[in-house]
Amino acid sequence: MFVFYFFYLVFRLLISKITLKSFLKDIFRNRHLIAELTKSDFKTNYIGSFFGLSWIVIQPLVLTFIFWVVFVVGYKANPIEGISFVPWLLCGLLPWNYFSSCLSINTNIITQSAHLLKKFKFNISLMQIVKILSALIVHIFSLVILIIFFQVKISPIHISIYWLQVIYYLIALTFLLWGMSLILGILQVFFKDTTHILSLILQMGFFLTPIFWNPHIIPEQYLFLFKLNPLFYIINGYRDSFLYKIPFWSDINSTIYFWFATLILFLIGYFLFKKLSPKFADEL
């Protein structure tokens, strides 16, 4: 069924007068605007507060310290497969935070930007890209804090060439976010309960994604159900890169599935955006 729908979408895109190529060209043409809006959004979030940009460092540091006190000092959490619990946990929690916060913001960005749609001929999908890039900057700072944490005595994890794989997983997660943001942002315009439904799904997803628990505890015959979650691939990838030194191509089936699902989501999002975006101004 998914394969049929995928090829149907590809066929519709090929015969459409407004092609995917023009959609991507429009984004590239506005790359400088995207950069300026991202810079402005980033500054708006932090500049003006007492600590300013320091919050980018303070938040992940405090989070790391709290988890270390609670799980290592307090609960004496056992290492997982020879890895201290806190770095193992953070390798799952940081990408999840990037994913969930960015998705929540982008679900509402079209409705919140109604004034732009009504006053200007503005490609509102650019605002979703801006929010993704702004959140990506914060996520990268969090990863830097994580790497520093790896080097302290409480949890020494040595630098490895495999750490560079995180760049691949960052790109993969960002592309997944783009497709899902398009879909959810459009749904929110026409179905106002979307943001509330998403909140419930994210709450369930937090516990169904291997953030706090080891996927090896799941019986083999049921593991494939959890692997349907694209974040399963991303979080395992972060841990494989930072902790286990496993190349990203080692699980080729999961890699193919992730990119297949991500591409389908992006094509659905693009197709819906091109068909429904002319109606946004009337609905908002």
**Cα gap 17→24, rounded to integer Å:** 14
pLDDT, tens digit (0-9, with 9 covering 90-100), for 72-121: 677 777 777 778 888 888 899 999 999 999 999 999 988 887 676 666 66
pTM of structure: 0.86
Coil vs helix vs strand at 113: coil
Q: Above 90 in pLDDT, residue 136?
A: yes
Q: Where are the domains of the chain?
A: 2-283
157-204 residue pLDDT tens: 677 899 999 999 999 999 999 999 999 999 998 888 999 999 999 999
Q: Exposed/middle/buried for 195, CB within 10 Å: 0-12, 13-18, 19+?
A: middle
Distances, alpha carbon 225 to alpha carbons 28, 215, 228, 256, in Å: 37, 11, 5, 16
What would the two tokens of residue 69 be?
């006190």
Q: Which residue has the tokens 């004496």?
A: 76
- CA-to-CA distance for 262 and 179, rounded, in angstroms? 7
